[in-house]
Amino acid sequence: PKPEQPKPEQPKPEQPKPEPEHPSDHHVVKPGYHASGIVETRQVVSSLYFVQRNLEVQRQLLDVAASQADCASFGADGMCVKAQADLRFRGGEVQYRVPAASLTVAYQFYPQWRLGLSAMAADMHIKDANGGRITQQAPAFTLFTGYGNAGEAGWKAYAGVTLLNAGMDIERAYHNGDAREIGYGHTRTRAYDVNLSGGYTFTPYAHVQLTPYLAVGYHSLRWNGYDEADNSVFAAHFDGLRSKVTSAALGVAMQWQVSARSSLGLDISVEKNIKQHNSRAVASVLGGFAGLASQYQVPDVDDVMPHVEASYTFAADKHQAVSLSAGYQDIGFGSGEGNVGLTYRIAF
pLDDT of 342 higher than 90: yes
**Residue 173: its pLDDT value, please?**
79
* Of the candidates 190, 172, 285, the residue with the CA atom closest to the CA atom of residue 242: 190
Q: Cβ-count burial of 8 within 10 angstroms (0-12 exposed, 13-18 middle, 19+ buried)?
A: exposed
> Are the C-beta atoms of 159 and 217 separated by less than 8 Å?
no
- 43 sits in which H/E element: helix 41-67
Higher pLDDT, 262 or 337: 262
**Residue 29: its pLDDT value, please?**
31
In the chain, pLDDT over 90 holds for what percent of residues?
43
pLDDT in tens, 94-104: 788 889 999 99
* CATH of the domain spanning 27-347, picked from 3.40.50.300, 1.20.120.640, 2.40.128.130, 3.40.50.880: 2.40.128.130
**Residue 346: its pLDDT value, please?**
96
pLDDT of 31 higher than 70: no
**Residue 254: its pLDDT value, please?**
97
Which of 54-63, 143-152, 169-178, 293-302 has the largest mean confidence? Answer: 143-152
> Are the C-beta atoms of 305 and 281 separated by less than 8 Å?
no
Give the DSSP letter string of 218-285: EEEEEE--EE--TTSTT-EEE--EEEEEEEEEEEEEEEEE-SSSEEEEEEEEEEEEEEEEE--EEEEE
pLDDT of 9 higher than 60: no
Higher pLDDT, 76 or 56: 76
Higher pLDDT, 319 or 131: 319
Sign of the torsion angle spanned by Cα atoms 150, 200, 305, 61 = negative
> What mean pLDDT do residues 66-81 have?
89
d(CA 233, CA 182): 8
**Residue 5: its pLDDT value, please?**
59
Question: CB within 8 A of 24, min separation 6: which ones?
Answer: none
pLDDT of 221 higher than 70: yes
Range scoring the smallest mean pLDDT among 43-47, 159-163, 180-184, 293-297: 43-47
**Residue 217: its pLDDT value, please?**
92
Question: CB within 8 A of 174, min separation 6: which ones?
Answer: 39, 43, 44, 46, 47, 130, 180, 181, 183, 234
pTM (2 d.p.): 0.81
DSSP bridge pairs for 160: 144, 195
**Residue 234: its pLDDT value, please?**
77
d(CA 295, CA 292): 11
Considering the chain, what is the average pLDDT of its residues? 82
Alpha-carbon radius of gyration of the chain: 26
> Are the C-beta atoms of 186 and 176 separated by less than 8 Å?
no
Question: CB within 8 A of 202, min separation 6: which ones?
Answer: 153, 209, 210, 211
d(CA 21, CA 285): 18
> Are the C-beta atoms of 287 and 271 separated by less than 8 Å?
no
> What mean pLDDT do residues 194-210 have?
95
pLDDT in tens, 244-269: 999 999 999 999 999 999 999 999 99
d(CA 328, CA 288): 41
**Residue 27: its pLDDT value, please?**
36
DSSP for residue 129: T
Q: Could you tell me the residue ranges of all domains in the chain?
A: 27-347
Higher pLDDT, 335 or 224: 224
pLDDT in tens, 150-195: 989 999 999 999 999 988 898 887 776 677 778 888 988 899 999 9
Q: Cβ-count burial of 1 within 10 angstroms (0-12 exposed, 13-18 middle, 19+ buried)?
A: exposed
For residue 91, give the amino acid letter. G
In the chain, pLDDT over 70 holds for what percent of residues?
79
